[in-house]
Amino acid sequence: MKIMITGSHGQVGTCLVNQLATTGHDVLAMDRDTLDITDAQQVMHTVCDFRPDVIINAAAHTAVDKAESERELSFAINRDGPKNLAEAAQEVHAAMLHISTDYVFAGNKDGIYIESDNTDPQGVYGASKLDGELSVISACDKHIILRTAWVFGEHGNNFVKTMLRLGQTRDTLGVVGDQFGGPTYAGDIAAALITIASAIVEQGNTEFGVYHFAGLPHVSWAQFAQTIFDKAQEQSVLSKKPVVNSITTADYPTPAKRPANSRLDTQKITQTFGIAASDWQAALCHLDDYIA
């Protein structure tokens, strides 16, 4: 396969590059320094020159709170960038795999979100990501939208790294306990995208559309933090684990509204591509890799 990756220095992008390094596939890995996805002409030129079978867009403006004050930048990267990539993919008959988010939903559903549930983003980040989804769907026939949530990994900034850092100096921590979701390991997202790309290019799978991929079991942020500290102590990454106090969303105000319910149903991706939900607890078995 010829695979073009954007956002190659991000959490998922780094994992994609690492996992594809020994596969023999022809990979063009681009980050923001080598490709401005908001520049339609540059994107078209790059894609037409490389002529990939698959474009995997792992680039995004993911600073949820900053997006509230950086609306124009957020929409440029999360809406216009995917549109440019999708139009270029269509031009060379490539498949477009695009990472999206639980933030496209309001987060107030009682049950687990399925792919066909109504979208209703509550902030700039979610709105820009939803527009990105719609742009990809309209511009490229062969598209996969992969919605995920609570992404963490060894690369970049994320909740696990923050908890480990704070756990080194704090005796107690207040962590939100009334928001629920499925933590998702970036390496598992990368593996899922590679599996889907292979199914499309090498096996001729044409089940394009929107898919959810996230972790199980579903937990609150406070429960996630507790698990991180339990495993960190077991692995001697922390000599002593802090006490986790569950607080409410109201106790921890942020510029952007967070979904109370980020639980994504992953049955469709399992049934279509044989991809199981992310085992986030297994991904915490080597926490020394998360400490710089």
The tens digit of pLDDT for each residue in 3-13 reads 999 999 999 99
Q: How far apart are CA 134 and CA 128, in angstroms?
A: 10
Mean pLDDT of 88-97: 98
Indicate the average pLDDT of the chain: 97
Looking at the chain, the whole-number percentage of residues with pLDDT higher than 70 is 100
Answer with the residue of higher pLDDT: 292 or 290. 290
Q: Is residue 45 assigned to a domain? A: yes
pLDDT in tens, 17-42: 999 998 999 999 999 999 999 999 99
Tokens of 5: 């990756």
Query: Is 241 within the bounds of a domain?
Result: no
Q: How far, CA to CA in Å, does 103 sit from each of 125, 136, 155, 211, 235?
A: 7, 17, 22, 14, 33
Mean pLDDT over 103-121 rounds to 97
The mean pLDDT value for 116-136 works out to 97
211 is catalytic: no
Residues 54 and 201 sit within 8 Å (Cβ to Cβ): yes
Closest of 28, 6, 162 to residue 77, by C-alpha: 6
Q: Residue 39's domain is classified under what CATH number?
A: 3.40.50.720
Q: Over 90: is that where the pLDDT of 124 sits?
A: yes
pLDDT at residue 291, as a whole number = 86
The amino acid at residue 123 is G
Whether 246 is in a domain gets the answer: no
Residue 226 domain-assigned? Answer: no
Which residues form the domain of 193? Answer: 2-157+183-216+263-280
- Compute the average pLDDT of residues 246-253: 94
Find the mean pLDDT for residues 124-131: 98
240 found inside a domain = no
Across residues 181-195, what is the average pLDDT?
A: 98
Please say if the pLDDT value at position 292 is more than 90: no
Question: If you average pLDDT over residues 174-189, what whole number do you get?
Answer: 98
Percent of the chain with pLDDT over 90: 98
Q: Is residue 269 part of a domain?
A: yes
Structural domain total, the chain: 1
92, exposed or middle or buried, with CB in 10 Å at 0-12, 13-18, 19+?
middle
pLDDT surpassing 80 at residue 117: yes
Task: Decide if 243 is inside a domain.
Answer: no
Lowest pLDDT segment from 147-151, 192-196, 236-240 = 236-240
Average of pLDDT values for 88-94? 98
Catalytic member of 125, 185, 211, 290:
125
Task: Give mean pLDDT, residues 143-149.
Answer: 98
Say if 175 falls within a structural domain: no
The pLDDT of 124-148, averaged and rounded, is: 98
**Cα 275 to Cα 267: distance, rounded to the nearest angstrom:** 9
